[in-house]
Structure 1
């Protein structure tokens, strides 16, 4: 694999988008750039997910209440936060969190307690946080966690396993997770920022840098270098549409050696079928490159970013449930009301030794 930026350098890169000191960016009177999680909070504040209190404080060490937690998750998911009645008897329609609680209940993110109460002012524990995030966002299947204080029969066991495997939630030096410990506001922000923006996780930042390198290689038609990221055992799959890539036999599979020779291959392949018309897509690799794979302007990314096409992600995960996806997005043009959007998705997965490999390149576009 090619050399990659360190996470420290990535943090510098992330801060470079701000033209003023971090304290001024965050605008909280009690929270500063020296905090270990300052950049996670800056990021969430930039997106409007964290807003703080009317007195200008963030209160980083205060426990997160259930109402606050669901409000932050709801903003991250862009749920409807309009204040309204909820299914819970102890959440007033006038509560700041009522809209997000109602939306989260409708989405199955929160269930509440017996008697249809939500207990909005109760603090959220680390175990509960794992369950909320696991329900709200996609996390790949994971091996069982090995924390000494998390038993397999506990309701949060699987969620903690998935978040820990993804790098979102970490344990303590004594190999405990402390699932019953209340989560502070700054720690909840760290969990949520890593979930929304994986580049806050060091190995996912490295993966993003690899994806940027691969994009440069694709633009240069340098498939020998692209092949460096492909597993010799598993190869790589190419799909023109995410919706047509969900079956195990869909798309075209290339070995590592075949990938290196991609542009020189003169054979015509059936890549799939046009979404909408159903006509077969029968092209040589170089034709497929021009007409589907790189038929848009894709730019290097500093962050993973929140996808504009969540259905694409869902469809790719149907085929590759353990994958991490880096999406490069072309938003389209005003001339066509932005319906000419396209995306190029690099799909990565770990092998048995823990090394990341490029296992698929999946494109997608709007069709009729």
Structure 2
């Protein structure tokens, strides 16, 4: 019996030498490989980004023109929300800011908000979200405006601090030239500021600009 046991033990050792087990994969190497695989997604080219921002800009304008504010809310940044500035000067403390959730909640109500004050008179401008978007933001048909990316076409005597507030962000501008009747001083422009989140560009600011006194 003892001889049989020894024979079996010898055969087992020989079998192990002929068919050694594969060494266990190093957990650190495995994690490193996973990280490498996850970063193989090709980076968006500058041309692709320009195309996407132009498309997004046009889609946002269409939602404003059709007064489809639920669709508009889909473009609001999920985490940072959206800020509205009545004029070129962005006041991060006073300008109206909404989270995406709050915008969706209040856009269907008659709740009035203070959006800022009128240039010249200084009177506070109070309106519902719908009326602000319809009467102030989209006061002209910006779907037929002149488009630019990260460049200003229109500018008046009010301070434009967009690049100081959003130095690393892309923005689009939709500019409508003034008429001869008013010495071209009735120009208006609508700017959108974007931030990328999970591969998609969302709005974080909507800025109107026009001639101020």
Taking structure 1 as the reference length, the TM-score comes to 0.42
Q: Secondary structure at the match of 1:242?
A: coil
57, 62, 70: which one aligns with 1:224: 70
CA distance change for structure 1 residues 342 and 303 in 2, over 3 Å: closer, same or farther? closer
CA distance, structure 1, for counterparts of residue 56 and residue 133 of structure 2: 20
Show the counterpart of 2:117. Answer: 273
Show the counterpart of 1:249. Answer: 93
Q: Secondary structure at the match of 2:181?
A: helix
Show the counterpart of 2:52. Answer: 206
Q: Which runs of 5+ in 2 are unaligned?
A: 1-42
CA distance, structure 1, for counterparts of residue 101 and residue 66 of structure 2: 18
Conservation of the 8 A alpha-carbon contact between 1:324 and 1:348: yes
Conservation of the 8 A alpha-carbon contact between 1:224 and 1:259: no
Conservation of the 8 A alpha-carbon contact between 1:333 and 1:339: yes
Q: Secondary structure at the match of 2:161?
A: helix
CA distance change for structure 1 residues 316 and 285 in 2, over 3 Å: closer, same or farther? same
Conservation of the 8 A alpha-carbon contact between 2:190 and 2:208: yes
CA distance change for structure 1 residues 251 and 355 in 2, over 3 Å: closer, same or farther? same
CA deviation after TM superposition for structure 1 residue 304, in Å: 2.2
* CA RMSD of superposed structures (Å): 2.7
339, 342, 347: which one aligns with 2:185: 339
CA distance, structure 2, for counterparts of residue 363 and residue 277 of structure 1: 18
Show the counterpart of 1:285. Answer: 129
Q: Which runs of 5+ in 1 are unaligned?
A: 1-164, 169-200
CA deviation after TM superposition for structure 1 residue 276, in Å: 2.9
CA distance change for structure 1 residues 336 and 300 in 2, over 3 Å: closer, same or farther? closer
- Number of residue pairs matched? 169
Conservation of the 8 A alpha-carbon contact between 2:88 and 2:207: yes
Taking structure 2 as the reference length, the TM-score comes to 0.69
**2:158 aligned with 1:309:** no
197, 202, 208: which one aligns with 1:357: 202
CA distance, structure 1, for counterparts of residue 103 and residue 147 of structure 2: 27
- Larger relative contact order, structure 1 or 2 (CA cutoff 8 Å, min sep 6): 2
CA distance change for structure 1 residues 336 and 286 in 2, over 3 Å: closer, same or farther? same
Give 1 or 2 for the bigger CA radius of gyration: 2
CA distance, structure 2, for counterparts of residue 205 and residue 302 of structure 1: 16
CA distance change for structure 1 residues 350 and 328 in 2, over 3 Å: closer, same or farther? same
